[in-house]
Chains A and B, each alone.
Chain A
Amino acid sequence: MTWAMRRGPVARYLLPVLGAFIAGWMVAPTLTVIPLSFTARPSFVFPPNGWSTRWYANLIHDATWLEALKTSLIVAILAALTATVLGTMAALGMRRRFFGQRLLAIFLLAPMVVPVVIIAIGIYLVFLPWGFAGTLPGFVFAHSVLGLPFVLVTVTAGLRSLDPQLAPAAASLGASPLRAFFAVTLPLIAPSILIGAVFAFMASFDEVVVSIFLVTPTRRTLPVEIYTSVTRDIDPTVAAAATVITIFTSVLLTAGLVAHARRSFANV
């Protein structure tokens, strides 16, 4: 007799309904954006009356949107790269116990806990006199700080599942520490690094708060452009942009989570 068969009617019929309702409650507002993006008229009335794809055409042809998308992609890719390299190195360095190691870990993980607005203000006040506000390196620096904790967490977990005897084994076979790292450690933690990189990319790609502080009229990221557009005028192009982002991030995150789950199961 399986567990499902032993449950009473309430659990068997009510729980799935309740689960579906809560899931719908959480996701529905996001999903309304999709039909809205196909509306025929320049309004946000839901449900839309009449259908068209003109807002997608608008998105592709409007230089402002394209420019914002390009900025977002470049920033996210560079920030993810920076966070991945630094986060991986930090995870490797913090395998060994040393004085102040826990403090350093808390410090590096802080961007996950500290309210983003606080980080944003801090970054803004430091970047302003340094001339980093509104520049590409500024965005990349700020966003890589936000992405680094994700890499640190996933790579640390990956290293923990590694047999500690592998490095000594490689050394006894004649591999220098550097070669042992590239031939043994790196291939084994590559999946963890990749997952961390995906999360770091996401952390940058849909980041709004810090970006709002850093934007200039000429350099805007996509989420900031969406925010500005919604508050400024009624243009369903924003719904089209939001739909593109939603689908893109959903696919990326699902792929990352599936890979992570596979790996966790494989290790059991």
Chain B
Amino acid sequence: MSSFLGQGATLELDRLEKRFGDRVAVDRVSLTAKSGEFLTLLGPSGSGKTTTLNMIAGFVAPSGGRIMVDGREIEKVPPHRRNIGVVFQHYALFPHMSVFENVAFSLKQRRCRGPEIRSRVSEVLELVGLTGYAKNHPRQLSGGQQQRVALARAIVFRPPLLLMDEPLGALDRRLREQLQLELRRIHQEVGITFVYVTHDQEEALVLSDRIAIFNGGRIEQLDTAETLYNFPQTPFAARFLGESNLIPVARGKRSGEVVVRGLGSTIRCPSTVEVSSDSDLHLLVRPERVRLCAGDLAPIGFNRLQGVVQEIVYLGSLRRIAVGIAPGFVVSVREQAGEWPALAVGEIVHVAWSPDDSTLLEGV
């Protein structure tokens, strides 16, 4: 597959904006995708990620801002001259054309010669694992195979940038997981810059080099998966990626201390965070950092709250325990199943965590 090794493009969005009447769909989004990077736009539906993708592809005209590919502005370039590959959620294969004709379409537009078209199509069909299907029509293929054709069609002309809009959204779970691994392999083989839209956090974690979390038309945070999980900057980012306990707190008397709102207990938090206001503060603790202990057996220096076991859910090797601290205030704990075999719903326990494992977040 040496011929596919190309230079992935650098994509830069600068205060990109899209308004539909009064509604702001994309609100001054700025980001940079590095050459050859797998960047995922992750967010709930209506958060502006697909509109952003459509503006990059040229299907939607921006209301403001700039889009640059390798430093060249492309907002005014019509979609058919952008040389950007696009994979659609529902494949959008041409139903009246065979697999070969679908994949060869872009090469015909570029006036490639017959022998070259044939060799490039068979090469890309091999890459996506569809050798021998060239003569089939799309309707004769399964959903997974159709999506492979769509991918082959979008990369056969060696675009420096490939956009994908929830390409695995219409497939069942097992097939989706299999195709995720293939997408990763193909991404590594072709060296194209991938920009990938999804609302599935697991998919984002498996595939991406970096993830941009979208919320209400803005980017909440753009980081590697690891940084996003361990150091989210907003409660939204914390909630969207992974499970989280977000404890509503207010600023304490001293730095490194906060007061649990509604409960009045003072707990300790990392003192490194500078807090500008004391409205809307949350303390984030991931469920796997919280421990259950009986009575006063919590390690020294740990925060400790008393509560009642409300629910125990077995997840194979792990179990998730919900502990009610106060009405409407539940702390979720993840621990090895079997650590406390006799634990039952209704039992009074303590939840404890090290202040170093918590993060103080501003915002809602």
Contacts and interface: CB of A to CB of B under 8 A. Distances in A.
Nearest to A168: B59
A216 to B, nearest CB: 47
Contact of B109 (A168, A169, A175, A187): A175
Nearest to A183: B105
B96 A179 contact: no
Nearest to B94: A184
A165 interface: yes
Interface string A165-205: 11011111111110110011001100000000000000000
Contacts of A171: 58-59, 78-80
B254 interface: no
Query: Which of A163, A169, A173, A188 counts the most B-chain CB atoms under 10 A from its CB?
Result: A173
A166 B90 CA distance: 10
Interface stretch (B64-72, B81-89, B118-126): B81-89
B216 to A, nearest CB: 25
B153 interface: yes
8 contacts: A163-B90, A163-B92, A172-B57, A172-B154, A173-B105, A173-B153, A174-B81, A179-B109
B105 A170 contact: yes
Given A163-B90, A174-B80, A168 B57 contact: yes
A188 B96 contact: yes
A163 B57 CA distance: 18
Nearest to A177: B80
A174 B109 contact: yes
B113 interface: no
A171 B319 CA distance: 50
Interface string A151-169: 0000000000001011011
B95 interface: yes
B53 to A, nearest CB: 11
B106 interface: yes
Interface string A218-235: 000000000000000000
Contacts of B78: 171, 176
B196 interface: no
- Majority-rule SS of B interface residues: loop
A188 B82 CA distance: 26
Contacts of A169: 86, 88, 92-94
A70 to B, nearest CB: 37
Given A168-B92, A169-B94, A172-B57, 12 more contacts: A165-B90, A168-B88, A169-B88, A170-B94, A171-B80, A173-B109, A174-B106, A175-B80, A179-B109, A184-B96, A187-B96, A188-B96
B92 A174 contact: no
Nearest to A176: B80
Query: Which of B57, B90, B92, B96 counts the most A-chain CB atoms under 10 A from its CB?
Result: B92
Contacts of A163: 90, 92, 95
B181 to A, nearest CB: 25
A174 B110 contact: yes
A165 B80 CA distance: 14
Query: Which of B84, B93, B109 counts the most A-chain CB atoms under 10 A from its CB?
Result: B109
Interface in A66-91: none
A170 B78 CA distance: 12
A173 B58 CA distance: 12
A180 B82 CA distance: 15
A171 B94 CA distance: 12
Contacts of A166: 92, 94
Given A163-B92, A166-B94, A184-B94, A172 B86 contact: yes
A170 B157 CA distance: 13
A172 B58 CA distance: 8
Contacts of B80: 170-177, 180
A64 to B, nearest CB: 47
Contact of A173 (B90, B95, B106): B106
Contacts of A173: 80, 105-106, 109, 153-154, 157
Nearest to B81: A174
Nearest to B101: A183
Interface string A19-60: 000000000000000000000000000000000000000000
A32 B244 CA distance: 84
A169 B58 CA distance: 11
Contacts of B59: 168, 171
